[in-house]
């Protein structure tokens, strides 16, 4: 990997240059009302951001899949309906200081967004955005990125990864886009003086990796197949007792991506077709027009959430739909804890089928 060095002053200067050139820069910003919390927000200057801020409350997915967005606008005339599509090309953006679990989530979602048709809005934003992640010092005991194949030193989904170094950061290009980004700003990304970026990255992530590995061991090979064969296992029965069926965990999740599309009137003859996040944990999500609900209680709804993430999506897209960020555990008002539940499921259904398939999904 190409490694450069960027000093704190140069990173601030780079941010200012990017913003001045019309690039949207999004970075972790502490909440002024509660500095123990942070969000990914557009910034005008690097001083507004804090690259060492706590894990942002909401994930990075909304930089590419906003909570709500207009797909088209319509106006009814007497005989016709006039449609106005929204642009699918976006101004350039740089995400500065994403957590590796958030960057990985974006790559996980590329797979479903580009599956049978290319989601123009998702990939429009993806094409316009350079994703600069920052090696992770770990957040707290709810982190389990290493159990799902990630890590605090992970580069998945990132174009560039920053590693804290004396007076600034080492910048490692993880993709061709990242290489181009470093090359486009030669005055800011200086020679790394022979320092080994990959070794620095691994060393910086090691303590957080050790803690995450302790929180939950890597999911066993064949876990997804084992789950698929355990749809009616007794282990599901008690799994969601405390779950209220609110959508908070899915809202903050970097990989939950279900959406609903509705037409909303702004007046008697015009309005907009919007797509907005939807939440599989509510009863309405699968309610049929007939009144039948194939997932009648929270047991089935929570099972679906686990199945989709750890069995269905891996079987279809060759990636676990979870990056181990732990936001679901931190957000849940009822104390549902996904790593704990995964541990229980591993114990209950284990690795059936692992020998035949032998893969890590």
Partner 1 sequence: MTALQELAGQLLSEGAVGLVIGWEEGPRGARPAFVTRPEDAGRLIFDPRCVHNLAAYLHPRRRHLPRSGRTAVVVKGCDARSVAGLVRECQVKREDLVVIGVRCGGVVRDPARGAGLTAESVSDRCPGCEAREPGRADHLVGELPPAPPASTRRADALAALRRMSPAERAAFWDGHLSRCIRCYACREVCPNCSCVTCRADVARPQWIDPSPTVRGNTAWQMMRVLHQAGRCADCLECERACPADIPLGLLGKHLLDSVAERFDHRPTDDPGVAAPLGAYRTDDEEEFIL
**What residues make contact with partner 1 under the rule CB under 8 A?**
34, 37, 57-58, 67-68, 141-142, 237-238, 240-242, 244-248, 250-252, 260, 262, 264, 274, 276-277, 279, 282-284, 296-299, 329-331, 333-335, 337, 339-340
Q: Could you tell me the smallest distance in angstroms from the CB atom of residue 336 to partner 1?
A: 8
Cβ-Cβ contacts under 8 Å for 304 (sequence gap 6 or more): 280, 295
Shortest Cβ 123–partner 1 spacing (Å): 22
Length of the chain equals: 361
| Residue 175 or 293 with smaller CB distance to partner 1 | 293
| 8 Å CB contact between 129 and 61 | no
Residue 305 makes CB contacts below 8 A (sequence gap 6+) with 249, 250, 280, 281
- Asked if 125 and 63 touch (Cβ cutoff 8 Å), the reply is yes
CB 293 to partner 1: min, Å: 11
Say if residues 243 and 297 touch (Cβ distance below 8 Å).
no
- Contact by Cβ (8 Å): 326, 361: no
Q: Copy the structure tokens of residue 161.
A: 């990864």
**Rg for the chain, CA atoms, rounded:** 22
Shortest CB 313 distance to partner 1, Å: 21
Smallest distance from the beta carbon of 211 to partner 1, in angstroms? Answer: 14
**For residue 29, what is the DSSP state?**
E
Question: Which residue's CB is nearer to partner 1, number 96 or number 252?
Answer: 252
Judged by beta carbon, residue 213 or residue 340, the one nearer partner 1 is: 340
Nearest approach in angstroms of CB 95 to partner 1 is 20
The residue among 173 and 216 lying less far from partner 1, judged by its C-beta, is: 216
Between 118 and 297, name the residue whose CB sits nearer to partner 1. 297
In degrees and rounded to multiples of 5, residue 252 shows phi and psi of -90, -5
> Is 335 or 358 the residue whose CB approaches partner 1 more closely?
335
């Amino acid at each position: 990997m190409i490694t450069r060095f960027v000093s704190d002053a140069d990173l601030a200067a780079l941010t200012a240059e990017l913003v001045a050139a019309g690039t949207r820069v999004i970075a972790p910003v502490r909440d002024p009302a509660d500095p123990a919390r942070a969000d990914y927000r557009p910034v005008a200057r690097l001083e507004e951001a804090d690259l060492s801020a706590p894990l942002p409350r909401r994930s990075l997915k909304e930089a590419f899949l906003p909570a709500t967005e207009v797909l088209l606008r319509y106006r009814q005339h007497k005989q016709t309906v006039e449609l106005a599509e929204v642009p699918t090309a976006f101004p350039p953006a740089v995400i500065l200081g994403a957590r590796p679990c958030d960057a990985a989530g974006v790559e996980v979602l590329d797979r479903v967004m580009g599956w049978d048709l290319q989601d123009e809005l998702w990939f429009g934003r993806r094409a316009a955005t350079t994703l600069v992640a920052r090696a992770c010092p770990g957040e707290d005991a709810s982190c389990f990125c290493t159990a799902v194949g990630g890590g605090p030193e992970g580069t998945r989904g990132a174009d560039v990864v920053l590693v804290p170094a004396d007076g600034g950061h080492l910048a490692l290009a993880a993709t061709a886009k990242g290489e181009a980004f470093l090359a486009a700003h030669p005055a800011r990304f200086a020679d790394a003086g022979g320092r080994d970026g990959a070794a620095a990255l691994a060393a910086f992530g090691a303590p957080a990796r050790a803690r995450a590995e302790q929180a939950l061991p890597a999911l066993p090979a064949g876990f997804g197949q084992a789950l698929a064969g355990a749809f009616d296992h007794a282990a599901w029965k008690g799994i969601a007792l405390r779950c209220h069926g609110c959508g908070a965990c899915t809202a903050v999740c970097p990989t939950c991506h279900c959406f609903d599309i509705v037409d909303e009137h702004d007046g008697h003859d015009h309005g907009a077709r919007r797509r907005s996040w939807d939440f599989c944990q509510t009863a309405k999500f699968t309610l049929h027009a007939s009144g039948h609900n194939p997932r009648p209680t929270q047991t089935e709804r929570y099972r679906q959430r686990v199945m989709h993430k750890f069995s269905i999506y891996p079987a279809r897209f060759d990636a676990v739909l979870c990056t181990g960020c732990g936001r679901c555990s931190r957000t849940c008002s009822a104390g549902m804890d996904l790593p704990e539940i995964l541990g229980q499921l591993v114990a209950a259904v284990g690795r059936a089928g692992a020998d035949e398939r032998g893969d890590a999904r």
